[in-house]
Chain A
Amino acid sequence: MGSITPPGSALLRGLRRGAPGRSRLVLAAVLFLAFLATFAVDWAVSPSAQGATSSPSASSSPSGDASSSPSGDADGSPASTQPCTVSATNGCIQGTILDSDREPAAGVDVDVTGPNGFAQTATTADTGRWSVSVETAGQYTVSVDQDTLPTGQYLTNAADAERTVNASLNANAGQIFQLSDQEGATTSDNTSSVTPARAWQQFASGIRLGLLIALASVGLSLIYGTTGLSSFSHGEQVTLGGLLAYVFANQLGWNIWLTGIVVTLLCAATGYLQDAAIWRPLRRRRISLTQLMIVTIGLSIAAQYAFQYFFGASTVRIQQGNPETVTFAGLTLTVQSYVAMAIALLVLVGTGLFLAKTRFGRATRAVSDNPALAAASGIDVDRVIRFVWTLAAGLAGLSGVMLGLVLNGVNWQTGLQLLLLMFASVTLGGLGTAYGALAGSMIIGIVVELTNLVLPGDFKYATALVILILILLFRPQGIFGRAERIG
């Protein structure tokens, strides 16, 4: 014990201690299966991917994570200035062109040609919208006249300027063209090419996502381990962190470091208060785990709509201004991403050391192992659980702050979307094992981001589910779990 050892090796020893020798073999097998599944899905889907005319994505961030609100504002509510309305005798081909600052680009010509010599040119209005009414269903070719783009704006994926659209009567066919302020820019949503550079970039995004999931899911796993509860409101703890950071950093203009610390402490306090006000009294009443789970669902509903009540349904940004990017070892990530990854790594190592080395950490693991035996050997189980709720809520809040910074926006359902990945991670790692949650999160994060290489953004969560189902079929206790846990 006496000598000081580097933190990394301590964590590794902890990992080894928590797992039997074959678990690394299983880990490798799972990784292999996951990649196989990804490519199998890709192979099955790719013919239709070829046929699809476009894969619109509103995200123009250089790191290529189209995770939040794809195409939401482009084909949402029909504007009142919309000249083409669908009826039984006609259909509309339409779209909105936004410039690189996401402001409407007016005066852009869009040429539409189609069957029977159909040819029309639409010009975008002040709202950036253009539309063409067609009276015959069929294939139309839509192309942007690149000479009419605003100065300093270029078409993203310029090779894709001419597209084929299937129009039908009584329906809208939308086409989204993205603009960029750099000539020749392409988006990572272009699924046709898998280059090593892109794979490397997505791998780094995956590590970033994995670390942020890990921060949140370590807490989820600890709660499960000590109380047996799958907390469905854990996602809202993440959202809470992000939204509080918005209040302090953006609304009140606080320094971002101070904001991070204050928000983490505030979120930890909500965990402490939650346990004092809700969970401990319910444990005292001997409420069953099913009921407790439904209580967390009720809490999750109430919290989601309370967020919407106060913050609205739109995405808010924690920091104003466009984030700077740094290219390092062939990776282009925002400064926030590098910092977030470093902080997440430090905090995770700290948590791991705490669980492995300190007296209280050992007590936590003892309760996680067998609460009755822990209580019998003199450990204050209630105090440990109180501490676990506090720690879990604090880590989730920190994860929310950094997620908001990394994705450059947070809204009421940020945490909700993460919850699915968290559940997949903790199940993959083994429910109730903190180190398993860490390993599971990294795998899920990397696999989810690598899915983006071959499938459009909407499908990346589907990969997480495929992994989840495979794990439950072949090794339901997860990588580090023990078979008896699944009863």
Chain B
Amino acid sequence: MDYILNLLSSLTQEALAPTTAAFALAAIGLNVHFGLTGLINMGQAAFLLLGAYGFAISITNGLPFVVAILVALAVAIVFAIILGIPTLRLRGDYLAIVTISGAEIIRMVGRSSLLTTTTGGSNGIAGSAYRDPFNAISPLPDGTTTILWFSYSNNGVNGWWIRIAAWGLVALFTLVLFLLMRSPWGRVVKAIREDEDAVRSLGKNVYSYKMQALVFGGALGALAGVIYVLPSSVQPDAMGRSMTFFIWTALILGGAATVFGPVLGAVLFFVVRLFIRTLAGDFIPDSIMSAQQAEQFSYVLVGVALMLLIVFRPQGLLGNKKELTFSV
């Protein structure tokens, strides 16, 4: 019984971790790209990485917190525009190819030894270098608070303040997504997803709408990147293709083109993986599967789950099959 309670406690803690919130926010951004507009962005991790670099490097150079956030957003927006200009007029898979390549380039340039003084090279940037301004604006008193079995320090490295801020942002942008989907803008981009030519024949500037969606989703990715690195450190190699693919898995799992899909998907992605890892670690002897292999096994299952989901339930857990027809 204790075992089950402990497992439940660690699973719920994983569900509410800042990393999960960062993934949820990145998945909301991807939902604007893919779920609403039908853009296949295979480089969402690059937006996170650029946001993280923009924020961390601004802070280490002495800029105030708000300016650092603005820099993070600006960098991601410029990246989105650079990727969008050549590709958004072309068929969908060109955007996929260019974004996946662009993401790799950002990561490789970031970890390059040439930029060690700025980006820290492959070692990245330690969290202590940029964390203080964020903790300084916390309204919480110092100390430790325990609610149920969640016990964290209020303003610590991985405490209540970052959790509140992260999930607050997720809630805010879930609401924004909800409103967007019902707005005239949302109807136009959804129509672009279904039939681009029809929208063009109605006199809408399809290219411009696509670009707006790409920029908005990318900016959300940059915010997610800031949240992702605040409790830890900027590690370019942790924010590569795999991360993009995991955000995709979370989005498809929860349901693209739905309001709560990205959040549900991100939570499930982490909880189920932890569940598999814990069970494999506790019940399968090390000779058959070591702890590291259990981790890799959980990722193999992620890949297989993605394949099965997209074939047999492309609308995800929350989606409406009629809504998402993948007409491309």
Interface positions of A (Cβ within 8 A of B): 45, 48-49, 52, 54-56, 70-72, 75, 166, 170-172, 174, 230, 232, 282, 285, 287-291, 293-295, 297-306, 308-309, 416, 420, 423-424, 427, 456, 458-459, 461-462, 464-465, 468-469, 472-473, 476, 486-487
B113 at the A interface (CB under 8 A):
yes
| Contact partners of A295 in chain B: CB under 8 A | 306-307, 310-311
Of B159-167, B179-187, B225-233, B291-299, the one with at least 4 CB within 8 A of chain A: B291-299
A301, B245: Cβ atoms closer than 8 Å: yes
Q: State whether A294 and B108 are in contact (beta carbons under 8 Å apart), knowing that A71-B113, A288-B328, A468-B98 are contacts in the complex.
A: no
Asked if B117 is at the interface of the complex by the 8 Å CB criterion, the answer is yes
Q: Which of B93, B94, B126 has the most CB of A within 10 A?
A: B93
Q: Across the interface, which residues of A come within 8 angstroms of B293, CB to CB?
A: 309
Query: A297 to chain B: which residues have CB within 8 Å?
Result: 42, 245, 248, 306
26 CB < 8 A contacts A-B = A172-B123, A230-B96, A288-B327, A290-B92, A290-B326, A291-B314, A294-B310, A295-B307, A295-B311, A297-B248, A299-B303, A300-B245, A300-B303, A303-B303, A304-B242, A304-B299, A305-B297, A305-B300, A308-B296, A309-B293, A458-B108, A462-B108, A462-B109, A473-B86, A476-B94, A486-B90
Closest B residue to A421 by beta carbon equals B101
Minimum CB–CB distance from B59 to chain A (whole Å) comes to 14
Interface flags for B93-119 (1: CB within 8 Å of A; 0: not) read: 110111011101100110111101100
A301-B302 contact in complex given A291-B311, A293-B96, A468-B98, C-beta closer than 8 Å: yes
B304 located at the interface, meaning its Cβ lies under 8 Å from any Cβ of chain A in the complex: yes
Q: Tell whether B322 is near chain A: CB-to-CB under 8 Å.
A: no
B91, B121, B305, B311: most-surrounded residue (chain A CB, <10 A)? B311
Partner of A469, one of B86, B129, B311: B86
Inter-chain contacts of B22 with A (CB < 8 A): none
B69 cross-chain contacts in A, Cβ below 8 A: none
B123 partner residues in chain A, CB cutoff 8 A: 75, 172, 174
Q: Known contacts being A288-B327, A469-B86, is A306 close to B98, with CB within 8 Å?
A: no
Give Cα distance in the complex from A282 to B121, angstroms. 43
- In the complex, whether B131 has a CB less than 8 A from a CB of chain A is no
Given contacts A170-B128, A295-B310, A298-B304, contact A472 B108 (CB under 8 A): no
A308 to B299, CA, bound (A): 10
Given known contacts A427-B94, A458-B113, A468-B101, is B302 in contact with A289 (CB within 8 Å)? no
B307 touches A290 (CB 8 A): no
> CB-CB contacts of B178-214 with A at 8 A, as 1s and 0s?
0000000000000000000000000000000000000
* Interface presence of B140 (CB below 8 A): no
Q: Is there contact, CB below 8 Å, between B40 and A290?
A: yes
- A288 touching B303, Cβ below 8 Å: no
Which B residues are CB-close (under 8 A) to A424? 101
Q: Check A302–B304 contact: CB distance below 8 A.
A: yes
Alpha-carbon separation in the docked complex, A172 to B86 (Å): 40
Q: How far is the CA of A309 from the CA of B288 in the complex (A)?
A: 11
Main secondary structure of the interface of A (DSSP, over half): helix
**Cβ of B153: which chain A residues have Cβ within 8 Å of it?**
none
Tell me whether B158 is interfacial, beta carbon within 8 Å.
no
Determine whether B85 belongs to the interface, using a CB cutoff of 8 Å to chain A: yes
The contact of A294 among B90, B114, B248, B302, by CB within 8 Å, is B248
B169 CB-CB contact with A under 8 Å: no
Identify B241's interface contact among A299, A309, A416, A456, CB under 8 A.
Answer: A416
Q: Which B residues lie within 8 Å of A285 (CB)? A: 311
> Are B101 and A423 in contact, CB atoms less than 8 angstroms apart?
yes
Chain B: minimal CB distance from A272 (Å): 19
Is B135 interfacial (CB-CB < 8 Å)? no
Interface flag for B87 (CB, 8 Å): yes
Q: Mark B122-155 against chain A: 1 for CB-CB distance below 8 A, else 0.
A: 1100101100000000000000000000000000
B56 at the interface (CB under 8 A from A): no
B73 within 8 A of A: no
B257 adjacent to chain A (CB < 8 Å): no
Contact partners of A472 in chain B: CB under 8 A: 86-87, 90, 94, 98
Chain B residues with CB under 8 Å of A465's CB are: 98, 101-102, 104-105
Interface residue ranges, B against A (CB under 8 Å): 40, 42, 82, 85-87, 89-94, 96-98, 100-102, 104-105, 108-109, 111-114, 116-117, 121-123, 126, 128-129, 241-242, 245, 248-249, 252, 293, 296-297, 299-300, 302-307, 310-311, 314, 325-328
- Across the two chains, which residue of chain B brings its CB closest to A464? B101
Docked CA distance A473–B248 (Å): 27
- Chain A residues near B242 (CB, 8 Å)? 301, 304
Tell me whether B113 and A70 are in contact (CB under 8 A). yes
- A299/B307 in contact, CB under 8 A: yes
Ranked nearest first, the 7 interchain pairs of A and B with the lowest CB-CB distance are A302-B303, A301-B303, A298-B306, A298-B307, A458-B112, A305-B299, A472-B86
A302 to B98, CA, bound (A): 23
Is there an interface contact between B96 and A302, defined as CB atoms closer than 8 Å? Answer: no
For B126, what are the chain A residues with a Cβ–Cβ distance below 8 Å? 170-171
Cα(A111)–Cα(B97), bound, Å: 48
Task: List residues of chain A with CB within 8 A of the CB of B248.
Answer: 294, 297
CB neighbours (8 Å) of B91 from chain A are: 486-487
Given contacts A230-B97, A288-B325, 8 further A-B contacts (CB under 8 A): A45-B114, A75-B123, A232-B100, A290-B40, A294-B307, A298-B304, A461-B105, A465-B101
Are the C-beta atoms of A52 and B96 separated by less than 8 Å?
no
Bound complex: CA A55 to CA B300 (Å): 36
Are A302 and B300 touching (Cβ within 8 A)?
yes
What CA separation (Å) do A472 and B295 show in the bound complex? 39
Chain A residues with CB under 8 Å of B93's CB are 230, 289, 293
Tell me how far the C-beta of A444 lies from the nearest C-beta in chain B, rounded to whole angstroms: 12
- Evaluate whether A294 and B306 lie within 8 angstroms (CB atoms) in the complex, with A72-B122, A305-B296 already known: yes
Contacts of A420 in B (CB 8 A): 100-101, 104
Which single residue of chain B is at the shortest CB-CB distance from A423? B97
- Give Cα distance in the complex from A94 to B48, angstroms: 31
Distance, CA A38 to CA B111, complexed state (A): 20
**Closest CB in chain A relative to B91 CB, distance in Å:** 5
Pick the residue among A305, A458, A486 that contacts B303 (CB under 8 A): A305
B311 → chain A, closest Cβ, in Å? Answer: 6
**By CB atoms of chain A within 10 A, which of B85, B112, B129 has the most?**
B112
Contact status A287-B40, CB under 8 Å: no
Q: What CA separation (Å) do A326 and B223 show in the bound complex?
A: 53
Question: B residues within 8 A CB of A52?
Answer: 113-114, 116
Q: How far is the CA of A170 from the CA of B303 in the complex (A)?
A: 40
Chain A proximity of B132: nearest CB distance (Å): 12
A461 touching B40 by the CB < 8 A rule?
A: no
Contact A56 B86 (CB under 8 A): no
Closest to A168 in B: B117
For B241, the chain A residues whose CB sits under 8 A away are 416
**A297-B248, A298-B310, A469-B98 known; A290+B114 contact, CB < 8 A:** no
Please judge, given known A-B contacts A170-B128, A305-B299, A424-B101, whether A293 and B40 are in contact too, CB under 8 Å.
yes
